[in-house]
């Protein structure tokens, strides 16, 4: 997938994203490989993970079916570096118009961080393809349902507060997709390098999506 529309459509179709954040490049590589083995086809490496750009390039080249993105992108320059490494979508914890515009000009998908309806609308008007709900409120599904009532044009993509227990409810509330961090890449499993359990978690999440 190369065009911005193709990437956007791919994210909408696949709905679930695996997001890894760690201080060890080898752990990030093996954990993400386990998530991919478990069935994830949208993956994100946060830029504060060592070797994130190398990992983006590596995973882009090893499987054409993957959509690979960069997270924790805080500046237009960081967005450029991520796209040059192969990132197909750019995710940020904040809403920076300069990052949104730079991402759009490079022809990849922009997913800035927002929380309030006003922030979401401003991100949308600036050109964001999706809006990341971050940090998520206690009842993610209910919050999304309330926001989409008067703003059905928004494509809300929560990346915190989502787990195996509430994933279906969040998607049925209208979320365009959901991101998994801790519930997939459990810190203890990462510390113990228990990648088989991470793969099993991925398989359970993918199976639950298939039942929708």
Is residue 196's pLDDT more than 70? yes
pLDDT of 31-56, one tens digit each?
A: 999 999 999 999 999 999 999 999 99
Is residue 149's pLDDT more than 90? yes
Point out the catalytic residue in the list 5, 29, 37, 44. Answer: 44
Maximum separation of any 2 CA atoms in the chain, in Å: 46
d(CA 113, CA 93): 4
Measuring CA to CA, how many Å separate 109 from each of 64, 69, 82, 120, 212?
Answer: 17, 9, 12, 16, 25
What the block records as the tokens of 142 is 């209910």
Q: What share of the chain is helix, strand, coil (3-state, %, to 5)?
A: 45, 15, 40
Structure confidence at residue 1 (pLDDT): 53
| pTM, two decimal places | 0.97
Phi-psi region of 149 (alpha: psi -120 to 50; beta: other; left: phi over 0): alpha
Point out the catalytic residue in the list 29, 102, 132, 155. Answer: 132
Predicted confidence band of residue 211 (pLDDT cuts 50, 70, 90): confident
Domains within the chain, CATH numbers bracketed: 4-206 (3.20.20.70)
Query: For the chain, what is the mean pLDDT?
Result: 97
Is residue 182's pLDDT more than 70? yes
Q: Name the DSSP class of 125.
A: H
d(CA 102, CA 152): 26
Is 132 labeled as catalytic in the residue annotation? yes
CB 180 within 8 A of CB 16: yes
Is 44 labeled as catalytic in the residue annotation? yes
Number of helices (H) and strands (E) in the chain: give both, helices first: 10, 9
Residue 204 burial (CB count, 10 A): 14
Closest CA relative to residue 14, chosen from 198, 203, 177: 177
């Amino acid at each position: 997938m190369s065009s911005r529309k193709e990437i956007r459509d791919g994210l909408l179709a696949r709905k679930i994203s695996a997001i890894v954040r760690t201080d060890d490049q080898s752990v990030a590589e093996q954990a993400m490989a386990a998530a991919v083995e478990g069935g994830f086809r949208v993956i994100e490496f946060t830029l504060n993970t060592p070797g994130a750009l190398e990992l983006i390039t590596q995973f882009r080249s090893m499987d054409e079916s993957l959509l690979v993105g960069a997270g924790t992108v805080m500046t237009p320059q960081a967005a450029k570096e991520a796209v040059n490494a192969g990132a197909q979508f750019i995710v940020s914890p904040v809403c920076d118009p300069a990052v949104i515009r730079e991402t759009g000009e490079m022809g990849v998908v922009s997913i800035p961080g927002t929380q309030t309806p006003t922030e979401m609308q401003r991100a949308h008007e600036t050109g964001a393809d999706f809006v990341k709900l971050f940090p998520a409120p206690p009842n993610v599904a209910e919050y999304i349902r309330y926001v989409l009532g008067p703003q059905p044009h928004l494509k809300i993509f929560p990346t915190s507060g989502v787990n195996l227990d509430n994933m279906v409810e969040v998607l049925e509330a209208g979320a365009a997709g959901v991101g998994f961090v801790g519930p997939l890449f459990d810190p203890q499993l990462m510390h113990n390098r228990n990648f088989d359990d991470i793969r099993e978690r991925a398989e359970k999440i993918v199976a639950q999506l298939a039942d929708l």
